[in-house]
Structure 1
Amino acid sequence: MLKFLLPVDGSEASNKAVTKLIRLLDWYKEVPAIHLLNVQFPQHGNVALFIDKKSIDLYHQEEGMKGLQSARDLLDQAGIACEFHITVGSPEEMITRYAREMGFDQIVIGPRGLGGVKGLLLGSVASKVMQLSTVPVLLIK
């Protein structure tokens, strides 16, 4: 069975990618195993001096669940089972590392759609994932 990693953040672009992937699943003989991944940014500065690790971990878990919720709801409504994961770090690095280490067959990702100049100057997680990944990437617009 194929295993797909679908990074999601709760954004409109992320939800669009989930919706379009649901439509594309008819292309496959059997429905691939879908794994959602939400990447939380690490806390910077002196946060760890004032807040204990357990509270920071709980915060990442709660925020990660919020970022996963709409994708989980869309897949649930379509009757598609999924597993979900939350990690902390740089999104493009964590997505590519997680896909490689967990043996995924494909990363399915939607661009944020910053567009034009903003997209060129800031880059995007999707384009960086495509550059860094050794796992095939399906970009859904």
Structure 2
Amino acid sequence: MRQVLVPIDPSNEARTRSAIAEVVGLHRQEPIGVRLLRVLPRLTNHVSMFFAPSELHQLQAQSGAEDLQFAQGLLTAAGVPFTCTVMVGRSAETIAKAAREFGCDRIVFGEEPTGLATKVFGSLAGQVRHLLDPTEAQVLGS
């Protein structure tokens, strides 16, 4: 069974809708495993020194789970089974690592209008494409 990774950015609802619509379409064509991924940035040492490691881990897991709720609702409404993962790290590197770790052969980002930052720095999907060998995973979306 194919495995699909869907990185979620809770600040971009339109992109999430686009990615989930694409995943629902893929699910209707063939059985796939779907994994939602929320990547949280690492906290600075100054911030993290105020929390016990277990407390920090719990807070990050809770925050990531809340960030995934919108996408979970869309997949549940469409009848598509999924699993969720929250990871901490740099976005592109962590997404590529997750794709390898979970054996995902597709990463679905959804479509996003190109803004100035994307033109200057490149899109997150483009960064992930650069990190992965094309035989590892197909990156869909912009």
User: Structure 1 length normalisation: TM-score?
Assistant: 0.86
- CA–CA distance in 2 between the matches of 1:49 and 1:24? 44
- CA–CA distance in 1 between the matches of 2:115 and 2:6? 25
- CA–CA distance in 1 between the matches of 2:121 and 2:63? 24
Please give the residue correspondences for 1:83-102 in structure 2 after superposition, counting only pairs within 5 Å: 83-102=83-102
Runs of 4+ in 1 over 4 A off after TM superposition: none
Deviation at 1:92, TM superposition (A): 0.5
Deviation at 1:117, TM superposition (A): 2.5
Deviation at 1:56, TM superposition (A): 1.5
1:80 is matched by which residue type in structure 2?
Answer: V
**Identical counterparts, % of pairs:** 29
Tell me, yes or no, if the aligned pair for 1:107 and 1:137 is still in contact at 8 Å: yes
Q: Which moved more, 1:104-113 or 1:64-73?
A: 104-113
CA RMSD of aligned residues (A): 1.8
- CA–CA distance in 2 between the matches of 1:106 and 1:123? 20
User: Structure 2 length normalisation: TM-score?
Assistant: 0.86
2:38 is paired with a residue of what secondary structure? strand
Q: Which residue number corresponds to residue 31 of structure 1?
A: 31
- CA–CA distance in 2 between the matches of 1:137 and 1:36? 16
Deviation at 1:112, TM superposition (A): 4.5
Q: Which residue number corresponds to residue 19 of structure 1?
A: 21
1:127 counterpart = 2:126: yes
Between the two proteins, the alignment pairs up a number of residues equal to 138
Unaligned runs of at least 5 residues, structure 2: none
Deviation at 1:61, TM superposition (A): 0.8
Please give the residue correspondences for 1:1-141 in structure 2 after superposition, counting only pairs within 5 Å: 1-10=1-10, 11-12=12-13, 13-26=15-28, 28=29, 30-113=30-113, 115-134=114-133, 135-140=136-141
Deviation at 1:111, TM superposition (A): 4.8
Residues 25-67 of structure 1, C-alpha deviations (whole Å, 9 max, x = no match):
33x3x32011111111110141122222122112211211122
- CA–CA distance in 1 between the matches of 2:5 and 2:107? 5
